[in-house]
Structure 1
């Protein structure tokens, strides 16, 4: 194994084990042997095989993304940024995602485009919530990223026949097949020779899986020593559906069936009983969540587009709830998500302390690593994996660099991330992804979206086409309504 020394970095966001927090180290070296960090600090004098000049750069730990849908979300670009269902809690889940979602054969190019965006924004570990498919694990491994596959499985599918009520089509046999396929994929991921692929169990949504399905999923997760993630508390409709079925809030129901605990990751954990858009004063969801040890995958962008916000990042983390950050939607830009997580928490609470940079940066690093049970990720310290990014301190948007992490998050964003390493191997050089043919993947994504949009009306309850469901910002001139002469 070769030893590489990145010498004389302007700054390293290093892990202080005694203080259990990130700290700045100035004029420091970052040294890794193979895929493991062996030294962080000034004056490394041991033998090395390769020395890289770190002057003008800051090393930051690789971001750990705990919730993403790279199979489908890139193709929603231009379609779902501004629209939701007015009569279904403003959500896009029930009318939009069901008609715009890509066909399975287009999963490859879509996933590659998402991975290229993630890598360029400093993500070194991705949790991929997709449907199990042949070749999925190998495709992820080829991108060079560290991946956790979460093959989603469910027994029912939601739909609407009128745009104001949600119904469920239940198919127990399909659920059994999905469960089988998911477990097969999970085992394939755990055994993958790259050593960079992990797994978690994924009963897809709290309202599309029955009690037994959740319990069996958790049992299989525990058997394999992996966590479980489900979508819960993500929509007003879902909250009231669970109350209608069980007389319990989603959090109460998860607790009642025995799955609300340290093994569970809740994506997205927004609509607790005390959320202003719910205002159900007859529960104590926040305290139940806090005491359970369950964690939350926070993905601000996809929700704030529809005027929904978790209440709030600071409140959850200050109470001891483990929170991670995810890129649930496009663009798959982790720095954007970190910045938005701070802004929306402050605006929603009217308190600038409820979404600090430290809250969000730690959620995107050590918080995510804890959720994935990987204390060797999300931090730069001896014994940790060599997953990190080098930020160009001379980038104009990083200047003046009085506080470098703030300059990155609030001004430079991914533009200043020049080099990215995963497992000791460089995957981004000078802002260019080395492991993906981005142009070819983008061409495939464009074609996949084009084919899918042609058949939107076949899946929509009102037989609307794409432009009717998601009207463009401006009409082309030949489609403008003809003006009538004044008489």
Structure 2
């Protein structure tokens, strides 16, 4: 007998409405599903079920789609570089500081486990992870239960800041080409994974660290293989100015001229387009181009807001017709917190509470992410869609009182209210804990890994600075 789970008499269902093409609230119906997908959404389920659960004081919503994140060393970087940046590079810390922290091969399993666990605990069921290709990536992503798109990055230039004020590029074209070949092989292996939940993505790492012919070849290979392509573009002012120096073009104009943009492309961040107030351009053509090409923007507000940077604005991009999906990029790997920050940043940037609504941000975190991946079977609760869903406990104190449950979730409760998460009908989070991963063990391990990486930071810094010099603590340390 096929194992069927039914959640009876659900207080609130965030269901997909085909007529409007968006989400709606339904009250009091059942949600039934098995490994093949959703069988019942909002009606009374008449069939036999293997497992029956009560939907009293529960909200069932679609699983969230994280369209851009990084495992690698990012989960290990918490609490180190949040207060630093390079003034001459517009306060961005990435170029000068992030390379100092290297957990090595031993850190990969723990970092990936923590990231996947945190994302699923916050309701993410589909995750696009950009990192270095390694076998353990396939193993842990497969075991986690998540629906994972793995994007092995490759590039021909490394960043280096030797003097604290100038970003330089160290080129090795042949090494980048070799990495490209290995990345394509890994992407095919991900697609062939026996779980059926993994796929590969072609990922030239940054628009300015790859030669134009490599960017064009990457797009061609992705299209030959029917894979998505993702690349960081217009993510910092340093990159924006470098492209202007080389080509006289913005990142969007440059990629469009190479024939890269299209409905199968996801641009990481795309903050500094030609309309942004920090740039020297005074045109507003890039958003029009993105909308016409059907290219997706992966918006990850938290990590950039920490550096004083923001998209201008998520509401404006949506009104221009750009498909904007939500990613987490770096820690805290919390989709619900990312959605909250996206709302706040958009309203601040737009100087209006009306710039973006809670409904808009749910759409970006579900349907827009699914659209970016070319799918109409995730990011929604409708019969026949994948059984990727999140159960929210409306009795969680931070949810109460509840007038509008999505607002309570996004503005107040976040992951504290996530009770269960299912992917392909299988329970991946139960009572806030991953069911398929040793999350607690990885959390314990990652502290030792951070200590080790911090002790070695001076070896990776061009100026030989210790971690204490690179990232002074928030308060002076006195006594023992």
**TM-score bracket for this pair, using the shorter chain length:** over 0.9
| Coordinate RMSD, CA, aligned | 1.3
User: Displaced runs of 4+ in structure 1, greater than 4 A?
Assistant: none
Map 1:457-468 to 2 at 5 A.
Answer: 457-468=458-469
Map 1:89-168 to 2 at 5 A.
Answer: 89-168=90-169
Residues in 2 aligned to 1:261 and 1:87: alpha-carbon distance in whole angstroms: 34
Look up the match of 1:375: 376
| Structure 2, unpaired ranges of 5+ | none
Does 1:25 find its partner at 2:26? yes
Name which of structure 1's ranges 171-180 and 194-203 shifts more when overlaid on structure 2.
171-180
SS state at 1:328 partner: coil
Task: Provide, for residues 386-424 of structure 1, a one-character-per-residue CA deviation record: whole Å limited to 9, x for no partner.
Answer: 111100011111111110100100011110011111111
Map 1:347-386 to 2 at 5 A.
Answer: 347-386=348-387
- Verify the 8 A CA contact 2:232 2:269 in the aligned structure 1: yes
1:282 CA displacement: 5.2
Map 1:280-319 to 2 at 5 A.
Answer: 280-281=281-282, 284-319=285-320
Residues in 1 aligned to 2:15 and 2:298: alpha-carbon distance in whole angstroms: 24
Count, aligned residues: 479
Residues in 2 aligned to 1:160 and 1:476: alpha-carbon distance in whole angstroms: 29
Look up the match of 1:64: 65
1:350 CA displacement: 0.5
Residues in 2 aligned to 1:237 and 1:43: alpha-carbon distance in whole angstroms: 56
Task: Provide, for residues 186-211 of structure 1, a one-character-per-residue CA deviation record: whole Å limited to 9, x for no partner.
Answer: 00111111011012110000010011
- Verify the 8 A CA contact 2:294 2:322 in the aligned structure 1: yes
Given the two structures, how large is their TM-score scaled by the length of structure 2?
0.98
The 1:178–1:56 alpha-carbon spacing in structure 2 relative to 1, beyond 3 Å, is same
Task: Provide, for residues 95-151 of structure 1, a one-character-per-residue CA deviation record: whole Å limited to 9, x for no partner.
Answer: 111112432331110110111111110111111100111221121111111100011
The 1:298–1:101 alpha-carbon spacing in structure 2 relative to 1, beyond 3 Å, is farther
SS state at 2:10 partner: strand
Residues in 2 aligned to 1:434 and 1:48: alpha-carbon distance in whole angstroms: 22
- Verify the 8 A CA contact 2:66 2:365 in the aligned structure 1: yes
SS state at 1:323 partner: strand
Map 1:379-394 to 2 at 5 A.
Answer: 379-394=380-395
1:41 CA displacement: 1.2
Given the two structures, how large is their TM-score scaled by the length of structure 1?
0.96
- Verify the 8 A CA contact 2:162 2:462 in the aligned structure 1: yes
| Structure 1, unpaired ranges of 5+ | 480-487
1:249 CA displacement: 1.3
Task: Provide, for residues 245-271 of structure 1, a one-character-per-residue CA deviation record: whole Å limited to 9, x for no partner.
Answer: 111111111111111222211010100
